[in-house]
Amino acid sequence: MTPTRTNSPVLIVGTGLLGTSVGLGLRRLGVDVMLSDASPAALHLAADYGAGRPAPATSASDASRDDTPQIVVVCVPPDVTAKVVVEQLRAWPNAIVTDVASVKAAPLNAVRESGIDLARYLGSHPMAGRETGGPLAGRADLFLGRPWVIATHQATTVAALQEIEGLALDLGATTVTMTADEHDDAVALISHVPQLVSSVMAERLLDDEAGASALAGGGLRDVTRIAASDPTLWIQILSANGPRVSRILRAVADDLGELADALADVDRAGSRRVVAEHMRAGNEGVARIPGKHGSRRKFASVTIMVDDRPGQLARLFNEIGDANINVEEISLEHSPGANIGLAEVWVLPEVRQRLVDELEQRDWKVAH
């Protein structure tokens, strides 16, 4: 087995998407993982899928040496995170305890108010997830290449920081250190508000009595993809970060109101300028989102029509590879009512025309 920074055993409390994924990733490295969950069914399902073994003990007083965790990873819903963290700190007096809740200030404050020593607690948040949850959604590579925030506080020790950094690095993540408040400000902007914007846009589709949804292309699908997320979980997340999210939503509402006013009378002096300036600002904003390998370099896209039958995507990528051209990004879209799909690939701008020429020589239909 490859040497790891994480020592066995690790106890995971909560076997949903994140808990199961942490377990699968650590087990793949040979780390001994123990699992605990309030739901016996979820616990045994995660164990059956190879995320670890059911924890034989619930505290240090009734655990053998081999069953005493070095690290406890709390992967439970945000509204009970602090309670479970405190329970685990008391149950395992020599373990470092972290949690992976998507808000950090509220759990930290609640743990602090419990009066327990904070030196062994260090909250964290892997910036990875899926629209589906539960043990069946778990993946060993879920954290590969993703940021993993470690929320330090005044009582943080070097030992605790090293343990949680090692855990994240072993799972293939890249660590980012910030305070709990800095983290919650950040996720309000890049995660929580986008979720709500996606949801309210998808909500507008309920008014679609003319069947416009059948014409939907990539734009609508991109905007509404995360609208399929679990409302129960999101209510907990948003409740813990409400004021921060509210401030950004009000700013978005102001921008939308300004656009609505301009478009209501587009011939009024300055209306077109308002729309153009918001769109230009959007161009500048989206350019701040890191792309491949964290770079902000812009790529050129090529759209190829692909028959919806076995082997066509493999053939496309093989022939792009034969042309010695690297694909930087890719998206796939099916054409409603037709047995074709559209593959949009992004490449370096300087090789775009060569890719178009190569594909057309091989009889691919390329959109111009």
Residues in the chain: 368
At 14-73, the pLDDT tens digits run 999 999 999 999 999 999 999 999 999 999 999 999 999 999 999 999 889 899 999 999
Residue ranges of domains in the chain, CATH in brackets: 10-178 (3.40.50.720), 185-286 (1.10.3660.10), 293-367 (3.30.70.260)
What pairs with residue 329 in β-bridges? 346
The H or E element that residue 222 is part of is: helix 218-224
**C-alpha to C-alpha distance for 184 and 251, rounded to whole angstroms:** 17
**C-alpha to C-alpha distance for 37 and 77, rounded to whole angstroms:** 12
- Given this model, what pLDDT does residue 272 score? 96
At 165-223, the pLDDT tens digits run 999 999 999 999 999 999 999 999 999 999 999 999 999 999 988 888 887 777 888 89
- Given this model, what pLDDT does residue 288 score? 85
Q: What is the CA radius of gyration of the chain?
A: 24
- Given this model, what pLDDT does residue 215 score? 79
Q: Are the C-beta atoms of 327 and 359 separated by less than 8 Å? A: no
**C-alpha to C-alpha distance for 162 and 5, rounded to whole angstroms:** 9
Q: Are the C-beta atoms of 252 and 197 separated by less than 8 Å? A: yes
At 210-262, the pLDDT tens digits run 888 887 777 888 899 899 888 988 999 999 999 999 999 999 999 999 999 99
Token pair for 246: 């509210």
Q: State the DSSP string of 246-285.
A: HHHHHHHHHHHHHHHHHHHTTTSTTHHHHHHHHHHHHHHH
Residue type, 294: G
At 123-140, the pLDDT tens digits run 999 998 776 778 998 999
pTM for this one? 0.81
Token pair for 274: 């308002």
* Nearest partner of 16 among 88, 141, 100, 104, judged by Cα: 100
User: Mean pLDDT, to the nearest integer, of 156-170?
Assistant: 96
- Given this model, what pLDDT does residue 222 score? 85
At 312-360, the pLDDT tens digits run 999 999 999 999 999 988 888 776 656 788 888 888 889 999 999 999 9
- Given this model, what pLDDT does residue 333 score? 79
How distant, in Å, are the alpha carbons of 13, 34, 85, 124, 347 from that of 9?
A: 13, 7, 18, 19, 44
